[in-house]
Amino acid sequence: MSDDPYAIKTNPLLVVLSGPSGVGKDTVLAGLKKSNHRFHFVVTLNTRPKRPDEAEGVDYHFVTKERFAEMIERDELLEHAVVYGDYKGIPKQQVRDALASGKDVLMRLDVQGAATVRRLVREAILIFITAASEDELVARLRARKTEPPDQLQLRIAESRQEMKRASEFDYVVINRESAVQDAVKDVLAIIRAEHCRVQQRVVTL
């Protein structure tokens, strides 16, 4: 680092939002998209068919399983996983191009995906989103009414196990019911603080 404090250069950051189902990751992400911060929001690849309310390049990039397999073989994915029989993944080139533009890169991943990114990119910033309590988390999962009872119980059990992995992250942000804007402000504060570090993170892929 330069000894001249006026010559400090801030590097773009790679930020991962993660946490169990039901904590409101998508809601926090939506709030961040409304902020004035210069983010590149990573668009995940997905092999499942596009739903009527989804837009290509906005919600996901929809690709065939054959194309996805080619990208795995060519080591073009930063992270990928099987989700209910379909594949999701993060293209490395999309992240590289965004970092090269100087923008902070923000991606939303499950807890396992976040662990993969931490292993591959040590300078990534991992933020764990959580509900205010386990009771609130379970209540949110039940209120979604998107799964039959047996799958719901499995989802709740998985979320409880994922909560135990919070210590693997750099930061924890509580997304309280009806106070999502506070969680958004906390995430932005973390990013601002990271840009003020004397020893800047340097993300390389």
Active centre residues (catalytic): 51, 144, 155
> Structure tokens of 96?
């590289």
3-state helix, strand, coil in the chain (%, to 5): 40, 20, 40
Return all residues near 37 (Cβ < 8 A) that are at least 6 apart: 104, 188, 191
Beta-bridge partner residues of 83: 86
Taking the C-alpha atoms of residue 142 and residue 149, their distance in angstroms, rounded to an integer, is 9
How far out from the chain centre does Cα 149 lie? 27
